[in-house]
Structure 1
Amino acid sequence: MPSSKIKSLNREYSIENHLIFKEGLGELVYAEIKNEAASGQIFLHGAQITSFIPHGQEPVLFLSPLSQYEPGKAIRGGIPISWPWFADHPRVSSKPAHGFARTSLWDVRATKRISEAETQIVLGLVGNQSTCEIWDYRFDLELTVTTGKELNAQLTMTNSGNQEFTVTSAFHSYYKVGNVNDVTISGLEGANYIDKVNNFTKKTQEGSIRITSETDRIYLDTTRDCVIDDPVLKRKIRIHKSDSKSTVIWNPWSYKAQQMKDLGDQDYLNFVCVETTNAGEDIISISPGKQHKLEMRVEIEAL
């Protein structure tokens, strides 16, 4: 994107002492947010939040140093958006994993200074020729991100066509941890889950979760907060959510990490994905003219 486009964005949407647009790796444009409570970054590519750092704290999100910053590629880390399907397409394996939202170029719709400690940006994506070739429905996606002491993200999905459609979706959040071997994840005790690593076997969670091997689970019929306890970084990451009845826990572990060219061999130790989703049996039907909103809120607590 040429510098003239960045100048145009800054003329229309920058906020003094809060938000400015810059050119990042691969000439991809991002919004840099700095206010009295926190800093953050959001790329227009994929509407992807790549950084959230409350002042005086460690980064909340993990971002791979080997991420690919180029059109058509997903950025590894931060909070990618899976839409209009989560994981592999349910019927056509050749279609892109996790849909097209995370690799599409989104538009800026609005920015706002809510207070000196809270900044908001709204990004949008509408159906176009390239999305119709993959998924032939008319839609409007709008992501509203509010950065302050807490991070809030709301994805509004609108059916702007004349046919009902079904979607699965996710905030595929990568949370930075001191060492994944030491963390525990609470909030899913007693929930049933699909263990994708073990032939999609359905199991029940007993106690809190510890990551000790490759983990890929869809927790079903759960709306509770999840809390990551991290004794190394001496903090809790609390994830609130709404309009989501499923949660995904993912970590590739050592062998799979070595097969991923955009992830370092040891990087799996430094993150865990706790994903706010509509996944598994949590399938969303949206009638013409109707909406569904997926929302998450992240707050940090000291241990």
Structure 2
Amino acid sequence: MSTQVERVELDQLTCWRIRVAGSELLLAQQGAQILSYRHNDQPPLIWLSPEAAYRRGQSVRGGVPICWPWFGDLRRNPEAVQAHYQQAEAPAHGLVRAEDWQLLGIDEEDDAVSLHLACDTRQTPLAGWPHDARLTFTVRVAQDLSMRLETLNRADAPLTISQALHTYFAVSDVRQVSVEGMHGCRYLDTLQDWRELRQAGEPTFTGETDRIYLDTPARMSILDPGWGRRIHLDACGSRSAVLWNPRVEKAMRLSQFPDDAWQNMLCIETANVLDDVVELKTDERHLLELRLSSTSLAR
């Protein structure tokens, strides 16, 4: 297939569809949010809700929302992260998911396409967060998918952030999959009053799951026997990850989410959270990288 780069309008959002090297990616310029990704005739690697709404000012359910400059509930973040925000009510997962990002450019190679986007708080201040930072996001689409999220602190004072690439993965049946590479990791189970536990064996999903893993390895893999594949997550600049699946009751309360959609998705969020937060001095940068690929299981 020849390389195709196409701007498309989905309801209220400007999006970009990239086809190259047998891969297809859809990205919304709002929030620099990857919406979907698949390779050849395989099932999608990235899950997008069948009820996804493409509205200005709200994140789309699914894909890879960018959580920054904090992750989750701000009140659960370290004090240094909380101190940077000056309003009473703090939205979950930070301030950039619904912001208009600037498209810096699109680079085409023989077998890859890269999109470069930026959110610059000097040009577009974030309400309640009066700090000078530049956030850039580069997505490279080839036979695999790579993401690079860079934070530059341009302020005179140090900056502390938490963040995540909130990736929704498509799976055949979450009740049949496991995650390789996390044996022995410490984790906080938010459903057990944030109790700290240690992972024994590979995580599986027998009920609602919301865990923050610490000291995570550079590679984790989703083992999906139903679709005969492993999805590999290779991360750099991150020592924490979040595993999330809403299961039945919570799924019924989520927006843009069919009641039974929990069966076919799993979030593994490559992150910098809790004691893995990012501390930047003036003019210092941090790079969070994630590469996604898949391999077939031996028959």
Q: Give the TM interval when normalised to the shorter protein.
A: over 0.9
Tell me the distance in 1 between the aligned counterparts of 2:105 and 2:181: 35
CA distance in 2 between partners of 1:131 and 1:57 (Å): 41
Structure 1 residue 134 displacement after superposition: 2.4
How far did residue 18 of structure 1 move? 2.8
Distance change >3 Å, CA 149–CA 85, structure 1 → 2? same
CA displacement 1:171-196 (0-9 Å, x = unmatched)? 00000001100101111100000111
Question: What SS does structure 2 have at the residue aligned with 1:254?
Answer: helix
Amino acid at match of 2:10: G
Partner of 1:22: 8
- 1:8 counterpart residue number: none
1:40 alignment partner, SS class: strand
Q: What secondary structure does 2:127 align onto?
A: helix
TM-score, scaled relative to structure 2? 0.92
Question: Is the Cα contact below 8 Å between 1:188 and 1:224 reproduced in 2?
Answer: no
Percent identity between matched residues is: 31
Q: Does 1:136 align with 2:136?
A: no
Counting only pairs closer than 5 Å after superposition, residues 247-266 of structure 1 correspond to structure 2 as 247-266=241-260
Task: Confirm or deny that 1:112 pairs with 2:107.
Answer: yes
The one of 206, 229, 232 equivalent to 2:226 is: 232
Partner residue of 1:47 out of 32, 38, 41: 32
Unaligned runs of 5+ in 1: 1-15
Amino acid at match of 2:44: P
Partner of 1:34 in structure 2?
19
* Distance in 2 separating the partners of 1:228 and 1:270: 13
What is the letter of the counterpart of residue 187 of structure 2? Y
1:137–1:163 contact (8 Å) kept in structure 2: no
Q: State the secondary structure of the residue aligned to 1:112.
A: strand
Flag the 1:93–1:199 CA change in 2: closer, same or farther, 3 A: farther
The residue correspondences of 1:209-228 to structure 2 (distance < 5 A) are 209-228=203-222
Q: Give the number of equivalent residue pairs.
A: 286
Cα distance in 2, alignment partners of residues 134 and 269 from structure 1: 37
Match of 1:94 among 65, 89, 92: 89
Query: Which residue does 2:175 correspond to in 1?
Result: 181
What is the SS of the residue equivalent to 1:281? helix
Q: Deviations over 1:182-228 (max 9, x none)?
A: 10111110000011111000000000010111111111112331110
Distance 1:299 1:265 in 2: 29
Q: How large is the Cα RMSD of the aligned pairs?
A: 1.5
Q: Distance in 2 between matches of 1:293 and 1:270?
A: 30
| Counterpart among 94, 99, 118 of residue 124 in structure 1 | 118
- Partner deviation per Cα, 1:272-303 (whole Å, 9 max, x = no partner): 01111001221111111110000000001001
Scaled by the length of structure 1, the TM-score of the pair is 0.91
Moved over 6 A (4+): none
Q: 1:18, 1:113 within 8 Å by CA — same for their partners in 2?
A: no
